[in-house]
Structure 1
């Protein structure tokens, strides 16, 4: 981490160390190339990821629960919300105009009210922009009174009576109430714009506000006249007016000039008040006296932007605590000083101008919104410990252990302070070597080694158990095991569907089920009730124990009730093996035949066997055919009538023959291996027709088509008889034979 202020109270910059004024694009690229050689940039620490804006940041706030940081910036105008336990950006949202300031209405980020520079008040929720309203004049500050649930907006300009106004928006009723009328000296009628709605250049205004929330509940409003007016929200009346100190008026050369009050802050007890003016002067007051207790000069003559009493949230401090500090900031520096004596404690001067400063409660962390790209995060170890959400960042070094004073006392290592370099001071604790830490822990707790050993053994056993291959669950029953496994599988499927439905709903939270889910749940309940009752109910226990209740899967009743279930055991309990079908046998023969094709000797033997088989079958048919025909011709035979009727049948009756798919496969393969000439030579010889034009066709298919015309034959007969003449009939293309077919 970068040490920003190497004084007696060191200040570390843990975010925004490289924040500077924006550079031109060409110079920024050159600077980025040179960063790879910068050791400071290489060793930088980024506490919050994306804790920056494209141009500048306007305001930053920390929620009451300490887990959220909301900040606004530009350009483009947007809102960034960081979740501190994750140290990352939760979401970013764009707005129409630049934000001036905002307040968190809830203990987290869920409700926020934003004052925009175009006079709009915007209410934001996690879902987006909830509502917008507009105030009559430009606002200067924004406060929220929790007791009356009112948003207070001090504004510039005067009303019809010449008084300044603090607009009141009641969030419970949802409407504007009558505002607080504060004396601001009236409008400046001599300057440009005087008498208008927004007022002139030097018109009066209410610049800031403060509320004593944890004490008496008074409201304080700082004006452009340098006065502070106190109002009571219960009676809605002015209680008192605190004027500027006389010493401030006497020191100014111009008697007409009065510095404005730009910042106000009540102490937690409600008895002290701090005011900051436009010339960089800070005064502290006791509420019982108009005389200031202390005067502090910021040193830069810039308006004071923020004032904060750095008191813890507990009841450990009071107004008279000597250790009470005040944080004051302008656009140049942040200073911390003693509230009683005014002595300087520490300070931070960033490289860019500041817009807003926020202190993280009960810690040493300070966040800023500035004119640079990155937002600052400063850590002061002597101011307080690191926030509890920073613990998630892990260890800083691998070979060193960071311990605070409480942990050192538990390990009995406080005796080494100041005597050896084994304890290296760092922030609010010390770095201790890892070996020394382990030795001290073993001495304090000797059983920690055995506990760690048992823990590591148990983790290894659990890891091995997870890597085992688990088989299907077996049901411990004596009889009807198949039925019991079926019921158990059905119950497991129902549980799986229920788990998937819970995952679709997003978790274990109960949600209103839809119509489809209700039907599915009813079906699952109905189907799961049966298996659960049968497997767990004692009344049906003998169903899976007594052999008299064994289910015979080969019975006809079981087949009628379960037509799709194929029995795996017979009546005698012997497991049956399924035989091969005819198709599977043919495929097996084909595979065997295809394996034998590579051997030529086996092919010749098979060919000879096929020819011998054909000869035997042909001889059998020749021997049986005369006897069959003679028997059919006998009058006394019963087939005589059918035989005579079969002669008149036009088509041949089908006959069943025994064939071998292996033989057909061999013949087809041999035919494919022969050439076209071999196939033509193997055909039987045919005598050519005397008057035909067809020749001998060879091939698997033969299509012959010779058209003829009856008219042509008549003409040929006339020509032979001598009655045909060329001039009587003229040949025409339209008389083509193919057209008249």
Structure 2
């Protein structure tokens, strides 16, 4: 974005030859890498994409809704339409002949009327060319009267009555009406009209037209004689005529300059005219004497006149443009306000309503766009320009903020770095505050030139270049590593995420198997027979393309919360036993006690009730400990059985699985600690009385004298059996010793057992 300062009013060149040097396509391709070092090419701004033509542009218009820009140009003759909210080209359309001028009939781009250089009027719609009509003579201008729905075409030459004509094409009826007859000098060869021949050098013509559509609706036509005729469209009669002022005549020749541009004020009382020698006059329609005379300064025909109303300005401005420059001045006093001089010749200038944006059609490849902040805000489709201007200006309200005495054009806050006081101290630049213009104050910090910032940072940290190099290398390495990693695809569903991931993994596995199968077959899938092709296509149409997740019938399974699967329910655990957590994990529902466990727990509770020292918490702890012991016992039994069955000795002996191992009991440390603590606090009698009933009975039966905890056993030798068996021992305590030899209780090995009976 380049800044020009011909006056106290800054003008920004947003697009055009001043901001980006046009390069041939072949040269751009050849120097693609070297252009990165070209500062002018690298700092270019492209406001609108493809806002250009191959050779030149002839006319540009903005739609009434402010969202479309239509422009015409060459070569080849074509029409470009840009959609402003997207800042891009919507479409390009070619035409048969060069477009002289055009007007937009609708509020957007959908209806437009184009005047071609081959005497053809073309009606274009969004779809293309709608209709074309040919006029008798060449047209010079084209305006549209919305009140009567008529297209007015001022033409070259005269009719049979010796008058110039303005063709009227009524768009409501769809036919040409009788045209307006304007005096252009007659058909005499010695007159200013130059005869009736169209091809003559000085032929008379109606050059331009204007409509006061915001007020009384009068029509104004400028002629080659330098006169302006005012017509009333309702009565189709001439109302008045303005003759050329004496100031238009030159001293060298007695010729009269032609009227080349007209513009009505919104109030309808003022009229501005532009001549072929670069002189602008403003009139009050109530007086034939001009109010103001303004010289453009280049002696070129005026091509565009426009009143620029703005609420931000103290007085109304007028824009006038010839092929050399665009000037904006005070419409009441004629004082110069600002100007723009592009590097190429101008053909037409368009003002974006209610903004400070100007668009041009010119002879260069690129169309220009100028932005004047003091004229108005940026259009809504490029509102970011206001922020750029505010950042670049020290004081947005100061008209001298961009005075060329301070800085040269194009260098205002370009390539600057914003730093606060803390960063300035770190770079040892705080001593420059208030001492030099190298630091430009802005808000809570300062703008520092990018080169100065880089030099100061390098002096503060000499290893900065090496650190930056290492950082760049590490970023490249990380990027290559990321490219080698293939992570799992995230499934975006609302409910049943695990089910969706499981289905996706299954589909991926199927695809891999299919790919491997295809590779084994040589890279091509087997073709189906011809007779079954139709049936396969029907089945493929009925079968979902992406499995369960791609089927529309099951979409609510992954979106509706009513179909969410409860993974903590018993039904889910029964169908998915592998997902059930271990017994030690939290959330497992407690299992009920068996009959044996309940009996044992009742006995313990009874003994605890007798002692009177148990409570509810101890009972629960004992129940948990009991369950743990039972589970440990079952696990030990299973492990021992597995070991015994797998051993070689077991297989040789052929013992069954009913062999009983020694019983092992596992008690919890918490319960044993409490029991030991209680035993220390109780007497021997209390401990004996607190024993379970069956334990006391067994101890009383097995003990001698009924003393708990003691037992005496005496073994007395006796005579041996007649058959030489082992000696027999009797139990002196209870008489419960062995009464018979070991051999007698065994089965005899003789053949006849009944001999001994």
Normalising TM by the smaller chain, what interval? 0.5 to 0.7
- The question of 1:470 aligning with 2:470 is answered no
Partner of 1:254: 253
> Structure 1, residues 231-268: CA drift from partner, whole Å, max 9, x if none?
0000000000000112333x53322x000000000011
1:549-628 counterparts in 2 under 5 A? Answer: none
- CA distance, structure 1, for counterparts of residue 187 and residue 27 of structure 2: 48
SS of 1:156 mapped into structure 2: strand
Q: CA deviation at 1:323?
A: 1.1
Partner of 2:156: 156
1:257-406 counterparts in 2 under 5 A? Answer: 257-312=255-310, 323-391=315-383
Partner of 2:244: 244
Partner of 2:218: 218
| Structure 1 residues 212 and 194, CA gap change in structure 2 (3 angstroms) | closer
| Structure 1 residues 357 and 32, CA gap change in structure 2 (3 angstroms) | farther
Does structure 2 conserve the Cα–Cα contact (< 8 Å) formed by 1:363 and 1:384?
A: yes
Q: CA deviation at 1:5?
A: 3.1
Does structure 2 conserve the Cα–Cα contact (< 8 Å) formed by 1:80 and 1:93?
A: yes
Runs of 5+ in structure 1 lacking a partner?
A: 407-424, 440-462, 474-527, 533-741
TM-score (norm 1): 0.52
Q: CA deviation at 1:186?
A: 1.7
| Structure 1 residues 3 and 91, CA gap change in structure 2 (3 angstroms) | same
Partner of 1:233: 233
| Structure 1 residues 19 and 223, CA gap change in structure 2 (3 angstroms) | farther
SS of 2:92 mapped into structure 1: strand
- CA distance, structure 1, for counterparts of residue 385 and residue 300 of structure 2: 38
- The question of 1:104 aligning with 2:104 is answered yes
| Structure 1 residues 253 and 438, CA gap change in structure 2 (3 angstroms) | closer
Does structure 1 conserve the Cα–Cα contact (< 8 Å) formed by 2:196 and 2:203?
A: no
> Structure 1, residues 126-185: CA drift from partner, whole Å, max 9, x if none?
000000001000000000000000000000000001100000000000000000000000
Q: CA deviation at 1:400?
A: 7.5
Partner of 1:201: 201
- CA distance, structure 2, for counterparts of residue 15 and residue 136 of structure 1: 39
Q: CA deviation at 1:403?
A: 13
| Structure 1 residues 33 and 244, CA gap change in structure 2 (3 angstroms) | farther
SS of 2:247 mapped into structure 1: helix
Partner of 2:468: none
SS of 2:41 mapped into structure 1: helix
- CA distance, structure 1, for counterparts of residue 17 and residue 154 of structure 2: 35
Does structure 1 conserve the Cα–Cα contact (< 8 Å) formed by 2:187 and 2:194?
A: yes
Q: CA deviation at 1:6?
A: 5.0
Partner of 1:74: 74
- CA distance, structure 1, for counterparts of residue 303 and residue 204 of structure 2: 19
Does structure 1 conserve the Cα–Cα contact (< 8 Å) formed by 2:122 and 2:133?
A: yes
| Structure 1 residues 284 and 191, CA gap change in structure 2 (3 angstroms) | closer
- CA distance, structure 2, for counterparts of residue 20 and residue 28 of structure 1: 13
Q: CA deviation at 1:341?
A: 1.0
| Structure 1 residues 175 and 403, CA gap change in structure 2 (3 angstroms) | farther
What is the CA RMSD across the aligned residues, in angstroms? Answer: 4.3
- CA distance, structure 2, for counterparts of residue 123 and residue 11 of structure 1: 37
Greater mean alpha carbon deviation, residues 19-28 or residues 157-166: 19-28
- CA distance, structure 2, for counterparts of residue 77 and residue 342 of structure 1: 38
- CA distance, structure 1, for counterparts of residue 76 and residue 136 of structure 2: 26
- CA distance, structure 1, for counterparts of residue 498 and residue 420 of structure 2: 46
Partner of 1:122: 122
- CA distance, structure 1, for counterparts of residue 89 and residue 83 of structure 2: 6
Does structure 1 conserve the Cα–Cα contact (< 8 Å) formed by 2:17 and 2:343?
A: no
| Structure 1 residues 370 and 188, CA gap change in structure 2 (3 angstroms) | farther
- CA distance, structure 1, for counterparts of residue 223 and residue 192 of structure 2: 21
1:11-160 counterparts in 2 under 5 A? Answer: 11-18=11-18, 35-160=35-160
> Structure 1, residues 69-117: CA drift from partner, whole Å, max 9, x if none?
0000100000000000000000000000110000000111010000000
Does structure 2 conserve the Cα–Cα contact (< 8 Å) formed by 1:187 and 1:203?
A: no
Does structure 2 conserve the Cα–Cα contact (< 8 Å) formed by 1:193 and 1:199?
A: no
> Structure 1, residues 209-244: CA drift from partner, whole Å, max 9, x if none?
011000011000000000000000000000000001
| Structure 1 residues 337 and 401, CA gap change in structure 2 (3 angstroms) | closer
Partner of 1:630: none
SS of 2:360 mapped into structure 1: strand
Partner of 1:409: none
Does structure 1 conserve the Cα–Cα contact (< 8 Å) formed by 2:70 and 2:109?
A: yes
- CA distance, structure 2, for counterparts of residue 227 and residue 192 of structure 1: 12
Q: CA deviation at 1:393?
A: 8.2
SS of 1:41 mapped into structure 2: helix
SS of 1:378 mapped into structure 2: strand
- CA distance, structure 1, for counterparts of residue 50 and residue 182 of structure 2: 42
Does structure 2 conserve the Cα–Cα contact (< 8 Å) formed by 1:61 and 1:358?
A: yes
- CA distance, structure 2, for counterparts of residue 71 and residue 42 of structure 1: 27
- CA distance, structure 2, for counterparts of residue 120 and residue 341 of structure 1: 42
| Structure 1 residues 23 and 51, CA gap change in structure 2 (3 angstroms) | closer
- CA distance, structure 1, for counterparts of residue 300 and residue 62 of structure 2: 26
1:311-710 counterparts in 2 under 5 A? Answer: 311-312=309-310, 323-391=315-383, 470=497
- CA distance, structure 2, for counterparts of residue 238 and residue 39 of structure 1: 59
Greater mean alpha carbon deviation, residues 282-291 or residues 191-200: 191-200
> Structure 1, residues 270-303: CA drift from partner, whole Å, max 9, x if none?
1111100000000011111111111110000000
- CA distance, structure 2, for counterparts of residue 380 and residue 392 of structure 1: 14
- Aligned residues, how many? 430
SS of 1:247 mapped into structure 2: helix
> Structure 1, residues 643-664: CA drift from partner, whole Å, max 9, x if none?
xxxxxxxxxxxxxxxxxxxxxx
| Structure 1 residues 190 and 246, CA gap change in structure 2 (3 angstroms) | closer
Q: CA deviation at 1:38?
A: 2.2
Does structure 1 conserve the Cα–Cα contact (< 8 Å) formed by 2:378 and 2:385?
A: no
- CA distance, structure 2, for counterparts of residue 438 and residue 171 of structure 1: 59
- CA distance, structure 2, for counterparts of residue 296 and residue 21 of structure 1: 34
> Structure 1, residues 479-520: CA drift from partner, whole Å, max 9, x if none?
xxxxxxxxxxxxxxxxxxxxxxxxxxxxxxxxxxxxxxxxxx
> Structure 1, residues 307-343: CA drift from partner, whole Å, max 9, x if none?
000014xxx69xxx95100000000000000111111
Does structure 2 conserve the Cα–Cα contact (< 8 Å) formed by 1:300 and 1:332?
A: yes
Runs of 5+ in structure 2 lacking a partner?
A: 398-410, 422-440, 445-489, 501-551, 557-757
Does structure 1 conserve the Cα–Cα contact (< 8 Å) formed by 2:2 and 2:19?
A: no
Does structure 2 conserve the Cα–Cα contact (< 8 Å) formed by 1:401 and 1:437?
A: no
SS of 1:64 mapped into structure 2: coil
- CA distance, structure 2, for counterparts of residue 469 and residue 127 of structure 1: 49
Does structure 1 conserve the Cα–Cα contact (< 8 Å) formed by 2:193 and 2:204?
A: no
